[in-house]
Amino acid sequence: MKKPILFTIIAAFALAFVVYQSQSGPVQKITGEAYAFTNVNVIPMTSEKVLPDQTVVIKGRTITLVAPSKNVELGDDVIEINGEGKYLIPGLAEMHGHVPPTDPPPNAPRYMNMQYVENTLFLYTAAGITTVRGMLGWPNQLELKDKVRNGELIGPNLYLAGPSFNGNSISSPEEAVRKVTAQKEAGWDLLKIHPGLSREEYDAMAIAANDIGITFGGHIPSDVGLTHAIEMGQETIDHIDGYVAYLNSFDEDERKQKMNEIIQITKEKNVWIVPTQALWETILGSADFDAMQKYDELKYIPKNLVSGYNSWAKRKLDSPNTNIEKAKEHASLRRDLLSEMNRNGVKILLGTDAPQLYSVPGFSIHREFQHMKQADMTPYEILVSGTRNVGEYFNGKDTESFGVIQNGKRADLILVNKNPLENISNLKDHSGIMVAGRWMSVADINNRLAMIEESYKEED
């Protein structure tokens, strides 16, 4: 039977209406105290996509809604942040950072006071770093973590490794086991491994740590070696440590194949890599020292710290052991390693070892981005290393979940002025940062940066 034409037209309209309704969804009214980023392009980092014209609602420390702006109506108590033409991305992480001691040792330099600790935390946050994995614990530092958590101090969410396991701090397997237990009980988040542990001490540490449920990461002690550390369950290998030494133990014609093999093992065992490429080129001696000594961001850290960097650099360049050609070869092998690891799906985490040599907290991530770019990482892959991967790494380690923009995630956000997926350097230009639901506009951030700069002009 032939349908009357009017019926067909009505049916078509009805269908169009249903489709329109399901796309637009019902309008939600936001009541009570909240923040809302409106008309913003959201880069949720769940996949490589941009959601245009969204409203993102935050209550307390948490994202409570991500929806098209036309479907959200804001109540009177909602503070609106206009995101038109801008991009909202999850906050970034410094996964190999340092937080200075709150109780400095007696021989510590004068600048190492509580003001310096607070400035350091602020510098991280000002760059959009909302999470720092502190890779060297100091006595009483865990209190600092609580002070940030309860809002007494502005700073990134802290996850702290305890005092380091190294050749000086550990003198027997028994001592290693005792200190693993003690650090777990004290509430440290992970164990930091430095060079100098014997294989027996390392194994005792690893077995005890795996047993009581605390992870360990950092360097690869030479007596342990890369493959053994991976077998024993080292969770993160920082500075790509141990890989070049491992590859150099083979003849040149075998190295390519060995590289592929070790990368596959790294991936299969779920080892995370924190490359810290920029810092390592400094340590190797292949970095551009003249350029580094002129970094503008050095004005935000104490002069004595900067002169310490500069005298280290002079000693490095004057040393008969420094061979620039060899250092450049080493650096290029590290670049190949990072490139191949990334291409093969090894999980990479953003880290710069701030505030080590010329890595000024916060600012140093932009230096590191350039090195990641040189290792063929796309802007999206670089962002993943500082956001989604970080959330995945901390999954189950924290009661809060973060690293992507989704309902229920911790409200760690950067309002970027231009699309960072087009150019990773666009991340330098932002309108403000939200850390665990606390909003800081770029004007507030710049004011405090100016105060920090001023305070270090006077210091001797």
Task: List contacts with Zn ion (CB under 5 A).
Answer: 135, 353
Q: Quick one: 45 or 135, whose CB is closer to Zn ion?
A: 135
Closest residue to Zn ion: CB criterion: 353
Q: Quick one: 353 or 381, whose CB is closer to Zn ion?
A: 353
Q: Are 178 and 185 in contact (CB under 8 A)?
A: no
Please give the distance of CA 119 from its chain centroid, rounded to a whole number.
18
- Token pair 């006077």 in the structure block, residue: 458
Q: Quick one: 367 or 409, whose CB is closer to Zn ion?
A: 367
Dist. CA 54–CA 67, nearest whole Å = 5
Dist. CA 297–CA 365, nearest whole Å = 12
Dist. CA 230–CA 409, nearest whole Å = 31
Q: How far is the CB of 353 from Zn ion (least distance, A)?
A: 4
Q: How far is the CB of 341 from Zn ion (least distance, A)?
A: 20
- Please return the burial class of 55, using the count of CB atoms within 10 Å of its CB with bins 0-12, 13-18 and 19+: buried
Dist. CA 7–CA 21, nearest whole Å = 21
Q: Partners of 237 in the beta sheet? A: 218, 273
Q: How far is the CB of 109 from Zn ion (least distance, A)?
A: 18
Q: How far is the CB of 98 from Zn ion (least distance, A)?
A: 6
Q: How far is the CB of 337 from Zn ion (least distance, A)?
A: 19
Q: How far is the CB of 197 from Zn ion (least distance, A)?
A: 16
Q: Quick one: 353 or 368, whose CB is closer to Zn ion?
A: 353
Q: Quick one: 354 or 404, whose CB is closer to Zn ion?
A: 354
Dist. CA 194–CA 169, nearest whole Å = 10
Cα dihedral 83→44→429→414 (10° resolution): 80
On the question of a cis peptide bond just before residue 101, with omega within 30 degrees of 0, the verdict is: no
DSSP structure class, residue 383: H
Tokens of 460: 């001797």
Q: Are 84 and 39 in contact (CB under 8 A)?
A: yes
Q: How far is the CB of 428 from Zn ion (least distance, A)?
A: 24
Q: Quick one: 135 or 360, whose CB is closer to Zn ion?
A: 135
Cα dihedral 457→155→123→429 (10° resolution): -140
Q: How far is the CB of 203 from Zn ion (least distance, A)?
A: 23
Q: Quick one: 94 or 353, whose CB is closer to Zn ion?
A: 353
Q: Quick one: 194 or 373, whose CB is closer to Zn ion?
A: 194
